[in-house]
Amino acid sequence: APRIGVLALQGAFREHRQRLEGLGAAVTEVRLGRDLGGLSGLILPGGESTTMARLMTEYALWEPVRAFHAAGGHLWGTCAGAILLSRDVLGAPPQFGRQDSLNLLDVTVQRNAFGRQIDSFTTDLPVRGLDGAFTAVFIRAPAFTRVGDGVEVLASYGGQAVMVRAGRVTASAFHPELTPDGRLHELFVRECAAPVALT
Ligand code: GLN
C-alpha cells in the first residue's frame, strides 16, 4: 500500500487520516518538509485557508510541497486545501492582501462562494469517474470561478465548478472525509500506488 501524507497544520486532517488508514494506506502527518520523504501522495485538508497559508510560511512548506509535486507526488486538496493549490484566490479578508497559494492548479478560486444563508449544505453530487452520486458536504465552501485550459472539471454545483483535476493535482470544494462514502479516497489511494522518488 502507498504511504500518503496528510498536511497536519490545521483543520480536518484526522478525518482524512482515518479514512486513508481504513483503506489500508500508511499515513504520515506532514508538518515539516522532511515529512514528505517517501510519500507518494499528499492530502491538504479543509480548515481555514488564511490560517493554513500563514502556517505554511511559518513551517517553510511552500517550496517543499512544490518540489514534492515536481518530483511526481500526487496532491489532493479539499476545501481550504483546494484553495491552497489554486493559482488565484479571491475573497480573502482585505487586511491580508493577496493570499499566498501553491499555484499548482491553473484556476481562480472564490472563497466562501455559496453565500451566508447556505453556508453549509449537503447534496448528492454527480462526479465524473464515479458510478452514482457522491454525498458531498460543503462548509463555507469555495468554488472554481475560472478553470484554465487543461484543467478538467469533475463536478459542478449550481453552475460552478466544485471539483477539478489537472495531471497529479485534484481539488474538491467539498469535504469527502466527513461522509461514510470512501470512493474518492479509494481513487486517490489507487492513484498514489506508484512510489515517488524524491531527489
Ligand atoms: N471558508 C474556508 C476558507 O476560505 C474554507 C472552509 C473549509 O475548509 N471548510 O478557508
Which residue, among 160, 162, 166, 168, has the nearest Cα to 188 in the 3D structure?
A: 168
Q: Residue 10 has what pLDDT?
A: 96
Q: Please, which pLDDT band fits residue 94 given cuts at 50, 70 and 90?
A: confident
- pLDDT computed for residue 95 by the predictor: 79
Interval between CA 115 and ligand 1 midpoint (Å): 12
Q: Which option is the CATH number for 3-191: 3.40.50.2000, 3.40.50.880, 3.20.20.70, 3.20.20.10? A: 3.40.50.880
Q: What gap in Å lies between CA 82 and CA 23, rounded to an integer? A: 22
Expressed in angstroms and rounded, the spacing between residue 71 Cα and the centre of ligand 1 is 28
- Which of the residues are catalytic? 79, 175, 177
pLDDT at 35 (0 to 100): 98
Residue from 48, 52, 120 to probe ligand 1 pocket by mutation (most atoms less than 8 Å from CB): 48
* 40 is annotated as contributing to ligand binding: no
The pLDDT-based confidence of 196 (bands split at 50, 70, 90) is low
Domain boundaries, the chain: 3-191
Angle at 184 between CA 59 and CA 34, to 5 degrees: 25
ipTM of the complex: 0.93
pLDDT digits (tens, 9 = 90+) for 128-158: 999 999 999 999 999 999 999 999 999 999 9
C-alpha cell at 138: 460543503
- Supply the pLDDT for residue 97: 78
Whether pLDDT at 197 is above 70: no
**Amino acid 119: pLDDT:** 80
| Confidence at residue 194, expressed as pLDDT on a 0 to 100 scale | 63
| 29 vs 2, higher pLDDT | 29
Whether 47 has a binding-site annotation, put simply, is yes
Query: Which of ligand 1's atoms lies nearest the C-alpha of 52?
Result: 10
Report the pocket of ligand 1 as residue ranges, CB < 6 Å: 46-49, 79-80, 83, 111-112, 139-140, 142
Angle at 184 between CA 182 and CA 187, to 5 degrees: 110
What is the mean pLDDT of the segment spanning 42-48?
A: 97
Q: What is the mean pLDDT of the chain?
A: 94
CA angle 24–75–59, rounded 5-degree value: 100
> How far does the centroid of ligand 1 lie from the alpha carbon of residue 135, in Å?
18
